[in-house]
Amino acid sequence: MDYEHKAKAVGDCLMGYKTDESGWKVCKKSNDVVVSWRPSSEFPGNVYKGEGVISGSPEKVWECLKPVPNGIRVKWDNNVKRFELVEQITEHISICRTVTPSAAMGIIAPRDFVDVILIKQYEDGTISSNGA
């Protein structure tokens, strides 16, 4: 599989969702976060996005979010039990395994996800981590 091509295609698709403001409908709103949805152009169903403002520099926020083994995210995100690097494809593309705990009082079993991850920083300072 051409992991580099797949990762870049997903990154471009997600950036398209970020920049195209049309068709989004708010489904949940709080003081800090807005969750919106719209029909997907890639599959039959909806895509969702969450938006909020986090106090902190992009670099400090990224340290808390970035998908790396032994990173801070495993410590604070109850939905991530373990994160492993399977293979580093390029400097910005990797294959990673994420293990999640059971959910809904055990009704949903723990899950393993293997993703191609693209990490990209844009000229406006935006940092994205996209999984396919």
In the numeric block, the tokens 């705990």 are attached to 101
Every domain of the chain and the residues it spans:
3-19+55-131
Indicate the pLDDT class of residue 88, thresholds 50, 70 and 90. Answer: very high
- Cβ-based neighbour number of residue 84 at 10 Å: 13
- Write out pLDDT tens, residues 93-131: 999 999 999 988 889 999 999 999 988 888 877 788 877
Domain 3-19+55-131 carries which CATH code? 3.30.530.20
- Write out pLDDT tens, residues 19-41: 888 999 999 999 889 999 999 98
Could you please report the per-residue DSSP string of 42-87?
Answer: SSSSEEEEEEE--SS-HHHHHHHH---TT-THHHH-TT-SEEEEEE
Residue 3 has what pLDDT?
85
High-pLDDT (> 90) share of the chain, %? 47
Residue 67 has what pLDDT?
86
Contact in structure between 97 and 107 (CB atoms under 8 Å) = no
Contact in structure between 75 and 82 (CB atoms under 8 Å) = no
Residue 70 has what pLDDT?
85
pTM of the predicted model over 0.85: no
